Copies of this chain bind each other. A is one copy, B any other.
Amino acid sequence: MNVGDRHYRTIWLSDDGRSVEIIDQRWLPHDFRVEKVSTVAGIATAIRDMWVRGAPLIGVTAAYGVAIQMADDPSDAALDGVWEVLHETRPTAINLRWALDEMRNFLRPLPSGQRAEAAYRRAGEIADEDVSLNRAIGANGLEIIKEIVARKQPGEPVNILTHCNAGWLATVDYGTATAPIYLAVEAGIPVHVYVDETRPRNQGAQLTAWEMAGHGVPHTLIVDNAGGHLMQRGQIDMVIVGTDRTTADGDVCNKIGTYLKALAAADNDVPFYVALPSPTIDWTVGDGLAEIPIEQRSSDEVSLVWGKTASGEIAQVRISPETTPAANPAFDVTPARLVTGLITERGVAKASREGLKAMFPGR
């Protein structure tokens, strides 16, 4: 999407045809830095140290890492080696593993002399496929936004609440939860986005707000505590969030706090949608609450807040007593009963086993 006047993806091939350029997201929203990465070690660092984040983007970055390796050394040993090196950077990231497997399986049968070119081509395809997937999600979500517009006064904006960052920064472009928003903007529909700051890591305040500001989407930052109140007052027309994992029964695992917004939406008859590419559906799990283990992250993410001081320095401040321990569950599970619909690339499915089976009959 746009950063001011210019369109960007989160990752693209350099003019040299060999390196990739990425947005180093660690400095957002305070500093917009593009970095050229030319080595496998550089790709590993970018994934491990979260210069790039978001499942789809991690996968694409890893695919380009394999391509860089093939340009250096297209041997079988190098192909296995780069798989190992990159897989270790974020071992629990499913998209990372998928992309590495995809690249290795695609390249293995090829003669080594053809591997480099084929690898760059396939990595580029994976990037483009992500964009297409997100545009398809966006188009399906746009239909919902249009239905809301039809019930409004002319020119009145559709107020959309989102939590965390399921935006273009988490993908190659468009994002998942944000795709319907960007397509609405493209279609000239007035939207206004309430952005949950999304403690503890503030991805809403740092990333989603930055995306909206860069692309010129009217938006307002709120604390995570405020969404329920806004819904009570009729100030939210719909909620759209992303998901890390959706179960075959339609339960949604997403950033901590999503469940509270879903409760408030249900209590106030506000439609609550989850946008997801179908590969994030985990068909092996039914009951999300019982079966999905929740990652416990560092207490420092709760106790320390990162930002920019008045003098322009990047700093962390402690908000609590040194002796106070903190717990930091990273995700929660929103039961399917609270989800109005699952916006996939194929259409909007009911959040239930029947709904998902009807949309994805092969599964």
| A259 touches which of B213, B232, B299, B333 (Cβ 8 Å) | B232
Q: How far is the CA of A321 from the CA of B30 in the complex (A)?
A: 7
Q: Quick one: CB contact mask for A263-299 with B, threshold 8 Å, 1 for yes? A: 1100100000000000000000000010000100001
Does A124 sit within 8 A of B, measured CB to CB?
A: no
Does A342 sit within 8 A of B, measured CB to CB?
A: no
Specify the chain B residue showing the minimal Cβ separation from A201: B223
Does A189 sit within 8 A of B, measured CB to CB?
A: no
Q: How far is the CA of A198 from the CA of B223 in the complex (A)?
A: 9
Q: Is the CB of A224 within 8 A of B221?
A: no
Specify the chain B residue showing the minimal Cβ separation from A256: B225
| A29 touches which of B263, B299, B321, B333 (Cβ 8 Å) | B321
Known interface pairs A307-B317, A325-B221. Does A294 touch B29 (Cβ–Cβ under 8 Å)? no
Does A316 sit within 8 A of B, measured CB to CB?
A: yes
Does A220 sit within 8 A of B, measured CB to CB?
A: yes
Minimum Cβ distance to chain B for residue A34 (Å): 17
Size class of the contact patch on chain A: 35 or more
Known interface pairs A302-B222, A306-B319, A317-B308. Does A260 touch B256 (Cβ–Cβ under 8 Å)? no
- On chain B, the residues within 8 Å of A221 by CB distance are 299, 302-303, 320, 324-327
Q: How far is the CA of A264 from the CA of B258 in the complex (A)?
A: 12
- On chain B, the residues within 8 Å of A325 by CB distance are 219-221
| A316 touches which of B219, B302, B310 (Cβ 8 Å) | B310
Known interface pairs A205-B319, A209-B320. Does A226 touch B309 (Cβ–Cβ under 8 Å)? no
Does A144 sit within 8 A of B, measured CB to CB?
A: no
Does A315 sit within 8 A of B, measured CB to CB?
A: yes
| A229 touches which of B209, B224, B294 (Cβ 8 Å) | B294
Known interface pairs A224-B257, A256-B223, A324-B219. Does A197 touch B319 (Cβ–Cβ under 8 Å)? yes
Does A305 sit within 8 A of B, measured CB to CB?
A: yes
Known interface pairs A221-B302, A221-B325, A232-B332. Does A319 touch B206 (Cβ–Cβ under 8 Å)? yes
Q: How far is the CA of A67 from the CA of B354 in the complex (A)?
A: 72
Minimum Cβ distance to chain B for residue A323 (Å): 5
Q: How far is the CA of A85 from the CA of B192 in the complex (A)?
A: 43
Minimum Cβ distance to chain B for residue A354 (Å): 23
- On chain B, the residues within 8 Å of A317 by CB distance are 305-309, 315-317
Q: Quick one: CB contact mask for A324-358 with B, threshold 8 Å, 1 for yes? A: 11111101110000000000000000000000000
- On chain B, the residues within 8 Å of A307 by CB distance are 304-305, 317-319
Specify the chain B residue showing the minimal Cβ separation from A266: B263
- On chain B, the residues within 8 Å of A29 by CB distance are 320-321, 324
- On chain B, the residues within 8 Å of A302 by CB distance are 197, 221-223
Residue contacts A-B, CB under 8 angstroms, 25 given: A29-B324, A30-B318, A197-B319, A199-B225, A206-B319, A210-B324, A212-B324, A220-B325, A223-B328, A225-B256, A225-B257, A225-B332, A226-B327, A227-B260, A228-B259, A230-B327, A232-B333, A259-B264, A305-B319, A306-B317, A306-B319, A308-B317, A310-B315, A315-B315, A316-B317
- Since A224-B257, A260-B264, A305-B317 are in contact, a sample of 12 more A-B pairs with Cβ atoms closer than 8 Å, ordered by chain A residue number, is A29-B324, A199-B199, A205-B324, A223-B257, A225-B257, A225-B260, A226-B329, A260-B261, A306-B317, A307-B318, A309-B316, A309-B317
